[in-house]
Structure 1
Amino acid sequence: MISRRTLLRATGAGALLVAVPVPASAAGGLVPNVFVRLDDAGRITATVPRPDTGQGVRTVVALMVAEELAVETGDVTLEQAPGDTERFGPQTISNSSSVRQLATPIRTAAATARCLLVTAAAQRWGVPVAECAAKDGAVCHPRRGRLPYRVLVGAAAALDPATVPVELTPPEKWRLLGKTRGGRVDARDIVTGRTRYGIDSRPDGGLVAVVARPPWLGAVAQAVDDTAARALPGVVDVFPLTAPGEGQGGVAVAARSTHQALRGRDALRITWTGGTPAADSRAWLADLEAALPTRSPIDGVQRVYRMPLLAHAPMEPMNASAHVRPDGVTVWAPTQDPGGLRTMLARQLGVPVASVRVEATASGGAFGRRVEPDPVLEAVACSRRTGMPVSVLWTRADDMRNDSYRPMSVHRLTAEIGADGVPVRRTHEVVTWPLTVLPLFANPALIKASGDHFPYTVPGEVSVIVRPAPLRTGFWRSVYSGQFLYAEENFLSELAARSGLDQVALRRALLPAGSRLHRVLDAVAEKARWSRQEPGTSRGVACLEEYGSAIAVIAVADPRSREVLRVHAAVDVGVALHPSGVRAQVEGCVVDALSTVLGAQITVREGRVAESSFGDYRWARIGQTPDVDVTIVPSNAPLGGLGELAYPPAAAAIAAALAGGTPVTGMPFGTDVG
């Protein structure tokens, strides 16, 4: 049984929203909390408090509600919550935290509704509550029969939720959670085009705006000749975006359609000035390497690893719509933080928070990019200027060349080796840039905490030097750990090869006995048949414990053809609430890892980002994608996070497999970095 006090302690401020009831008379039907309601006909609606950027939050919410209310997921209608942290608690999608933080509040919300319905039925029958049970959308009693939820809604709504004990369905009685059957609840809508993404959410009668962006880093518009643009059909206005809080800057063209806006932008004649027109990412990388200390703290085997800039490149480019009115503003956006965005807009516009509405649309990928508000700020600025609803659309090239990139970094690793070939001491020296989107990440200690998850029992030192970033940098899937772990695991693989040691055996010897990583490493080695190597192949291994979860990855490749054949992963996420979703998240991380190892990187030449599309930012194609096998390792650990977990070890294992025993010196593998 869960008491209100226990719930608050367990889940933090967000749980308060479950514990405080909403008066039934205020909304009709049974509305015991902000997450779950039943209308007078017994129909169930669940409010999803956080956005779904592809990670499957909506599916897990549907599973949790259906489980606790003893119905099928098809019986649950999902509604996406608008931005409102006072009602729904924190709404940020970050740090692989969504399901971890929502599980107890959402399950408790649905269980509260179930317990109210069961109590109402017991009172009607005059029997003990313990003799009643919910099943298939009704309350059942062995002698009294069955009462559908629809006939109990009124009586249940009259009860005070604070007086009804709430018990969650124990795992041994789960019908849906933790089971292998069932995919995403929104899969059909996605593949048939019925899902409305941000890019589909243009308000009726609104304008479309595109922005002429600086052609090189930091440039500003000195003079604008918009005569030809204004003469084109459909072009409504042309204006600069230069004020603070108007996005990244540039010249906006607002028109009646996307095509007209793009034609208008092409017709502009702009004189640009300032910035860094000579910037070159190869020079940036050299500067980072030159900032390494002149001497490593210890003598021994040494290797330097170089990491490139990476763009987020979600399938849906950046976009947002806004309508600024005298009485407030409404925003439609694929955002990772609708609640925080609402608060920021109210502060920036100087209006009450209550007058700002943020509708979080479906999102075609995010990977950290949609935490940032710049497309929304542009849409708001355009709507204020025109007095109309405006949808701002970024093209693929806009998106690729004006991102907030994963920072470059250089890593020098040194290891002192014992007589048995096993490392006995290590150092890891890092020079990198901060995340400009969050000034806190100028702190070396914070970067170290984000990136350093070395799990092996080798004593040593990790140091971080932070250099000023010459362009926008931001959160990219797994943030800094993707770079730290890539260097650490490839270095460990090189040390094993130098000493003639087995990669898996070395890692087992260096992991704490009985640890979660020990278990997942054993599981993946067994599944990959590590003891029997296929002729002509090479293999790589990597492990990571982060986000409250543990994972081990083995990649199998043909180093001659540079083809990755198979990737095996074993993952411990505590309780896997949606096993199909677990596998999908790992598979997605593997594709990202494969892409960045095989060649995807952002380069800057003559002040410009060279890449503009998937034609030159080479993300993996279907034919390059290996078979991915995911083993879920049962565990009694608390629920862990997953969205970013598999990327770092998958990238490291794939690179080691492709290297075939030769040293890896950076990412991408086998080509120049920067």
Structure 2
Amino acid sequence: MITRRALLGAALVVAVPLPDGGTSLRPTVFVRVEPDGRVVATVPTPETGQGVRTMAAILIAEELALDVPDVTLEQAPGDTATFGAQAVANSMSSRRLTEPLRTAAATARCLLVAAAAARWRVPAAECTARHGRVEHPRRGALPYRALVADAAALDPATVPVTLTPPERWRLIGRTRAPRADARDIVTGRARYGTESAPPGALVAVVARPAWIGATVSAVDSDAALAVPGVVTVLRLDPPGAGQGGVAVVARSTAAALKGRAALRVTWTGGTPDADSRAWLDDLAAALPATPDTPPPALERVYRLPLLAHAPMEPMNATAHVTADTVRVWAPVQDPGGLRTQLARQLGLAETAVRVHPTLAGGGFGRRIEPDAVLEAIACSRAAGAPVTVRWTRDDDMRHDSYRPMSVHRLTATLDADGVPIGRTHAVATWPLTVLPFTSPALVKASGDHFPYTVPGEVTVTLRPAPLRTGFWRAVYAGQFGYAEECFLSEIARRGGHDEVALRRRLLPDGSRLRRVLDAAAGRAGWTPGPGQGAACHLDYGSAIAVLVTADPAARRVRRVTAAVDVGIPIHPSGVIAQVEGGILDALSTVLGAQITVRDGAVVQSSFRDYAWARIGDCPEIDVVLVPSEEPIGGLGELAYPPAAAAIASALATEPVTGMPYGVAVG
């Protein structure tokens, strides 16, 4: 049973009940039951493809004895005072929302049951909620719509609230239902960022810096202003107006693009000679001296490149600025935090700022940043109308905030059997420029999740970032974990050990990682041999093992088996989809997708040269859900680090000194 103190604590910490006008039942801001019996879930976290709306629908349908399609979903606006933290980050959505959503729905159910029991004058324990109604063995049944008014009049503090016990779950962890918004997405009813602008909105595109760090020196806009449909041209100065550049505001996308092409912009400053090969060399030179390691020993250096986020939906935002209000419609990852930031930056009360998060075609950390929103606000203020800023694919690829480069030197002391008994891991990388990952300790805390019983030392050296860097799926763990697992696989090969057997030997007895590793090996029918790779990862409160079979000569991955323990897999289909997505990101980067800089500018401009995996590259993927009594864990970033390492190991023939297996970087 949920105590009154726990219920009130959840309401105060996560959500403050909204007034309902006496027409609907609203135990908290997350759930309401309308007079017609319709159940509406307000989802506080944006949907960026991770399936948070489906998770919310499952949790609420379970506790209100409904089916998933019976729950209507609404997206909450940015408002941390009402909804609490709203960021899509650090694989936190399921961990943060499960208890409040279940509690809200269970409260509504118990109030409806109490209302029915009072009307029938029977004990509430004799009543059961089922399929949108309350039933009694002798009194019959009443639909929720007949009970809403009575339930809304009850004091929630006087009604005991119980969560549905696991043995009675019909949906949580037991349904492989499609996404709750799948039909809207495939039929076009779903609205993404650029489809969410109010009527009459103008369109803007931006001429962005020609090389890294460049700023506008002069603009000749006459030819651009002569293009039919162009409304205005304005200079955007960073950081208040995003990354900087020159915006062309027009009545259509075509006119804006034609106007941008007609601009004559003179750029100055920055680093027009920047080269990513020199950056890698600088990071390698920043590593501390190689430690004295007693023989037998092994040492390897891994150089990891810049990576772009490359979401399928490029960056965009719509803003409407008036004399005393700002409204934003955009695919963002932290609507509440963005609202607070905008209010502070613009000198407005938070109540004057409205942020409406739209569906996002992928985020991966990029949409934490507000640069597209700041551009839209500047353009709207200048135009005196709502404006949608559209980034082209080239804009998105060449002006991203990239995953930092890093160089890793790993050493291992080996016993007589070639088993590691000591290790060092020295990392040289850059901080994130978008949020305060500015100290070696923070970088280490983000990246160092080495799970094996091998004592050692990890050191981090930070060099100033020469371009914008930001959160990228798994952040620093994607780099630390990749290097550590690749190195362990090479140790196994050099010592004649099976990669799985060596990991089992180095994992604590009864550990979650050993359980998922055994589950993956059993599912894959693992036998040691060429063209195979293995890796493990423990992070975000979850555990995963990935096994890969590949054809190194053809540079082709044939099969990937992943076993994952996320505690309670609320939506099994969603768990599988998230793991598959992480595996395909890993496949893409190991096969060579990377960002390079030459002559001060990013070389890659689209998927034609940022070589993301195509359909024909995709292997057979088998995801095993491992039962667990652990608390609910995070998932969105979990699969990438071990999948990248296992794929690299499976594709390796002989390691390339100083680089990841077979992948030229920089």
The interval holding the TM-score normalised by the smaller chain is over 0.9
Q: 3-state SS of the aligned residue for 1:279?
A: coil
CA contact (8 A) 1:600 1:668 kept: no
Deviation at 1:28, TM superposition (A): 1.9
Look up the match of 1:120: 115
Aligned positions, number: 664
Structure 1 residue 671 corresponds to structure 2 residue 666: no
Q: 3-state SS of the aligned residue for 1:468?
A: coil
Deviation at 1:223, TM superposition (A): 1.1
Q: 1: distance between equivalents of 2:19 and 2:264?
A: 60
Aligned amino acid, residue 187 of structure 1: A
Deviation at 1:667, TM superposition (A): 6.6
Look up the match of 2:515: 519
Look up the match of 1:553: 546
CA contact (8 A) 1:596 1:668 kept: no
Q: 2: distance between equivalents of 1:462 and 1:509?
A: 22
Deviation at 1:671, TM superposition (A): 3.4
Q: 2: distance between equivalents of 1:467 and 1:390?
A: 38
CA contact (8 A) 1:598 1:668 kept: no
Deviation at 1:183, TM superposition (A): 1.4
Deviation at 1:16, TM superposition (A): 3.0
Cα deviation digits, residues 78-126 of structure 1 (max 9, x gap)? 0000000111110000000001100000010011100000000000011
Cα deviation digits, residues 635-660 of structure 1 (max 9, x gap)? 00000000000000000000000004
Q: 1: distance between equivalents of 2:14 and 2:476?
A: 33
Look up the match of 1:3: 3
Task: Identify which of 627, 650, 658 aligns with 2:651.
Answer: 658
Structure 1 residue 370 corresponds to structure 2 residue 370: no
What aligned pairs does 1:18-417 form with structure 2 within 5 A after superposition? Answer: 18=15, 20-24=16-20, 26=21, 28-242=23-237, 244-299=239-294, 300-417=297-414
Cα deviation digits, residues 215-240 of structure 1 (max 9, x gap)? 10011111111111000100000010
Distance 1:356 1:27, change over 3 A: farther
CA contact (8 A) 2:592 2:664 kept: no
Look up the match of 2:480: 484
Deviation at 1:195, TM superposition (A): 0.9
Cα deviation digits, residues 161-180 of structure 1 (max 9, x gap)? 11111111111101111113
Deviation at 1:327, TM superposition (A): 3.1
Task: Identify which of 418, 423, 428 aligns with 1:426.
Answer: 423
Look up the match of 1:617: 610
Distance 1:57 1:472, change over 3 A: same
Q: 1: distance between equivalents of 2:525 and 2:109?
A: 47
Q: 3-state SS of the aligned residue for 1:204?
A: coil
Aligned amino acid, residue 509 of structure 2: A
Cα deviation digits, residues 23-69 of structure 1 (max 9, x gap)? 44x36211121011111111111100100100000000011111111
Q: 3-state SS of the aligned residue for 1:229?
A: helix
Q: Identity, % of aligned pairs?
A: 69
Task: Identify which of 438, 443, 446 aligns with 2:442.
Answer: 446
Task: Identify which of 462, 465, 468 aligns with 2:461.
Answer: 465
Deviation at 1:6, TM superposition (A): 3.2
Q: Which runs of 5+ in 1 are unaligned?
A: none
Q: 3-state SS of the aligned residue for 1:649?
A: helix
Distance 1:600 1:511, change over 3 A: same
Aligned amino acid, residue 426 of structure 1: R
Q: 3-state SS of the aligned residue for 1:560?
A: helix
CA contact (8 A) 1:21 1:161 kept: no
Q: Which runs of 5+ in 2 are unaligned?
A: none
Q: 1: distance between equivalents of 2:173 and 2:405?
A: 39
CA contact (8 A) 1:199 1:316 kept: no
With the length of structure 1 as denominator, give the TM-score of the two structures.
0.97
Q: 1: distance between equivalents of 2:469 and 2:8?
A: 36
Cα deviation digits, residues 433-476 of structure 1 (max 9, x gap)? 000111x3121011011000000000010000000000000000
Give the RMSD, CA atoms, in angstroms. 1.3
Aligned amino acid, residue 283 of structure 1: A
Q: 2: distance between equivalents of 1:414 and 1:385?
A: 57
CA contact (8 A) 1:307 1:666 kept: no
Look up the match of 1:510: 506
Deviation at 1:668, TM superposition (A): 6.1
Q: 3-state SS of the aligned residue for 2:88?
A: coil
Look up the match of 1:588: 581
Look up the match of 1:626: 619
Deviation at 1:543, TM superposition (A): 0.3
Q: 1: distance between equivalents of 2:359 and 2:319?
A: 16
Q: 2: distance between equivalents of 1:499 and 1:162?
A: 64
Q: 3-state SS of the aligned residue for 1:32?
A: strand
Q: 2: distance between equivalents of 1:532 and 1:543?
A: 17
Q: 2: distance between equivalents of 1:668 and 1:365?
A: 27
Q: 3-state SS of the aligned residue for 1:442?
A: coil
Aligned amino acid, residue 614 of structure 1: F
Deviation at 1:361, TM superposition (A): 0.1
With the length of structure 2 as denominator, give the TM-score of the two structures.
0.98
Structure 1 residue 529 corresponds to structure 2 residue 521: no
